[in-house]
């Protein structure tokens, strides 16, 4: 005969067994959960990568816009003259990015000296990994055909005011580039291949004609936009967007 104590013990065993059974996962359930998690990761990672790239592109455009604002500030302090591509510095010349930073942003020349470092402040783009060298101090390049006032070797004397540009929305102020100055080669196909030395961070192994090969560009009316690099392949340095 089962007494009350035995009945209680049997009930406890059944209860514990039911808890163990309800808490346990079968192998199939575990595999299903793992498969679902893997699928979600596969879906989300490209979206996160795209969001990161979009944020970097936005930050690049913002920095480029701030560089142009600094260029405008320079002009306001210099009788509307456009920031020269080269600035005279004693018996030598100073590239525009360094001179602009010193004149309008209270930066020091030493901020641009560390070879092998990323460019400082707004002169850098988050998605670029190019490092500074003795001739490269910025992720932005400028056309040498716009206000190249002084160069120690070539002694260029070409000055422009902002008011000298009749269609500022078509004239390139800065663009993504591995070169701080953009030069023109008007020898036919060679100019197209070089694309005026716009070796943008987006280019990599992409052909200049590839629609995915784009660069950020600021124009002299202040707007900044992403543009296919193929649209900038002009063989004549007197055409837009190189010269008014």
* Tens of pLDDT, residues 132-183: 877 778 888 888 777 777 666 666 677 788 998 989 999 989 988 777 777 6
CA–CA separation, 93 vs 99, rounded Å?
10
For residues 173 and 218, the answer to whether their CB atoms sit within 8 Å is yes
* Tens of pLDDT, residues 95-116: 889 999 998 999 998 888 877 8
How many Cβ atoms from other residues are within 10 Å of residue 179's Cβ?
18
Give the Å distances, CA to CA, from 95 to 2, 129, 133, 135.
100, 21, 12, 8
Tell me the whole-structure pTM to 2 decimals.
0.73
* Tens of pLDDT, residues 114-145: 778 889 999 988 877 778 877 778 888 888 77
- Cα–chain-centroid distance for residue 165? 27
């Amino acid at each position: 005969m089962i007494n009350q104590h035995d009945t209680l013990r049997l009930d406890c065993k059944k209860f514990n067994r039911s808890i163990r059974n309800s808490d346990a996962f079968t192998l199939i359930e575990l595999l299903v959960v793992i498969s679902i998690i893997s699928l979600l990761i596969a879906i989300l990672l490209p979206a996160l990568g795209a969001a990161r790239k979009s944020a970097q592109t936005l930050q690049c455009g913002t920095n480029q816009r701030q560089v142009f604002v600094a260029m405008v500030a320079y002009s306001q302090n210099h009788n509307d003259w456009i920031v020269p591509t080269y600035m005279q510095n004693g018996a030598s010349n100073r590239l525009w990015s360094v001179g602009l930073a010193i004149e309008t942003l209270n930066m020091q020349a030493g901020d641009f000296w560390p070879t092998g470092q990323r460019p400082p402040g707004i002169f850098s783009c988050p998605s670029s990994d190019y490092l500074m060298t003795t001739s490269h101090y910025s992720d932005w390049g400028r056309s040498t055909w716009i206000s190249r006032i002084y160069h120690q070797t070539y002694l260029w004397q070409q000055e422009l005011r902002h008011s000298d540009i009749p269609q500022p929305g078509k004239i390139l102020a800065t663009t993504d580039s591995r070169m701080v100055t953009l030069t023109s080669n008007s020898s036919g196909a060679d100019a197209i291949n070089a694309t005026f030395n716009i070796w943008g961070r987006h280019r990599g192994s992409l052909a200049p004609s590839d629609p995915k090969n784009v660069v950020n560009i600021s124009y002299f009316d202040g707007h900044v936009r992403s543009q296919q690099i193929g649209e900038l392949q002009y063989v004549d340095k007197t055409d837009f967007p190189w010269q008014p």
